[in-house]
Amino acid sequence: MSKDAVSLAWGSPSARADGLMDGKALDRWDYIGQRPVVTNNFFGGYDSGYYGPYGYSGVGFGFGPEIIYIPYRSRSVWFVDGEVNEWESER
């Protein structure tokens, strides 16, 4: 399979790496995915100041879940001399 065929099937890679393997040009394309992770955060603080002629102050605290997304390498394709030599995809 050529690079054009992989690009058509999987899209543009997120990252690329070049090298040599047994004297042949090696090109690796990596595709990045994102996993949702739920975290529980505690936040709080005190604030005071002036808004126009009025002063304000306040204390606020909270606790709640937050979803963050962690990037990971979801799949890779290795090309040797421009043709697919090997590929892997995470399940």
Query: pLDDT per residue over 12-68, tens digit each?
Result: 999 999 999 888 899 999 999 999 998 877 666 666 666 666 666 666 666 778 888
Model-wide pTM > 0.75: no
Type of residue numbered 48: S
Contact indicator for 39, 66 with CB cutoff of 8 Å: yes
Domain count, the chain: 1
Separation between Cα atoms, residue 91 and residue 76, nearest integer Å? 13
How are beta strands 15-21 and 83-89 bridged, if at all?
unpaired
Range of the domain at 38: 3-89
Q: Give the 3-state secondary structure of residue 23.
A: coil
